[in-house]
Amino acid sequence: MKYLKTTLLLSTLFVSVSTMAMDKTAAGAVAGAAIGAVAGKDVKSTVGGAVVGAGTGAMFKNGDKGKAARKGGAVGAAVGAGAAAVTGKSVLKGAAVGAGSGALIGEATH
């Protein structure tokens, strides 16, 4: 397991160098997926990390798309935290995934 985590970490570093040429949303998704894979134990962690990373990358964009992503992220965080609280899940995790999803939706609908 230690070898796998080290390999994923090094792969993330190599990918992060090439993400300079990528869009911020795509770069965030790649970095988030790698971090989710290292930190978690299943595919759900990887997908969650990709959503949060892509949303974060979208929020860092400049101009109207970034503004729309930030607004969507704020709404998504509130909805995600509320849904997690109602279902008895982690409110912080719900807010993070909600913010990522909301940011992606905000960027896409702009």
Query: Tokens 């985590």 — which residue?
Result: 5
Cβ atoms 46, 37 nearer than 8 A: yes
d(CA 15, CA 81): 31
Cβ atoms 36, 45 nearer than 8 A: yes
d(CA 68, CA 47): 23
pLDDT of residue 11: 64
Cβ atoms 97, 40 nearer than 8 A: no
Interval 49-58: pLDDT, tens: 889 999 999 9
Interval 13-54: pLDDT, tens: 555 555 555 688 888 888 888 888 888 878 888 888 889 999
DSSP 3-state assignment of 62?
coil
Interval 66-99: pLDDT, tens: 999 999 999 999 999 999 999 999 999 999 999 9
